[in-house]
Amino acid sequence: MSRVTPTFDERPTIALVAHDHKKAELVDFVSRHRDVLRHFSLFATGTTGQRVIECCPDLAVRRLKSGPLGGDQQIGALIAEGRITALFFFVDPLSPHPHDVDVKALMRLSLVYDIPMALNRATAERLIKTFAEERRAAEVS
């Protein structure tokens, strides 16, 4: 599959998803990196998006349905359409997830379409640093 990579003249798009026990961690991550993230279009599944909006009302976040109600699949469709630049999905590996099939499908689509995917905070920190460096380089050129 070919990967669609928007230039920084276009607004790249990040999808935000977090399992219940990781939502606070994702919200904290977004809050700490809001200066970088404000240059992206942001999509988020329902509850995660609501919590990000409450913490960071200055960020424009488009909320989709809750993950178990189709939000994961909506993000998967955006990936398949080439509209997602990266996926930040803070996964809780220690809790059961009734919609685990949807979660695996979302990860599979990210792999198939070669979308950078951060499944934990450590990876998200590295990825956001890369995005910040790319942004600075684009502004200099």
Domain that holds residue 112: 13-140
CATH of the domain at 28: 3.40.50.1380
Considering only residues 3 and 103, tell me which one the structure prediction assigns the higher pLDDT.
103
Residue 3 lies in a domain: no
pLDDT in tens, 37-95: 999 999 999 999 999 999 999 999 999 999 889 999 999 999 999 999 999 999 998 88
Mapped onto helix, strand or coil, the DSSP state of residue 54 is helix
Residue 98, helix vs strand vs coil: coil
Q: Within a domain: residue 7?
A: no
pLDDT single digits (tens) 80-93: 999 999 999 999 98
Taking the C-alpha atoms of residue 66 and residue 21, their distance in angstroms, rounded to an integer, is 15
pTM over 0.85: yes
- Number of domains within the chain: 1
Asked whether the beta carbons of 124 and 90 are under 8 A apart, the reply is yes
What the block records as the tokens of 35 is 């200066």
Q: Is 57 helix (H, G, I), strand (E, B) or coil?
A: coil
The residues annotated as belonging to the active site are 72
Strands 117-118 and 86-90, bridge-based pairing: parallel
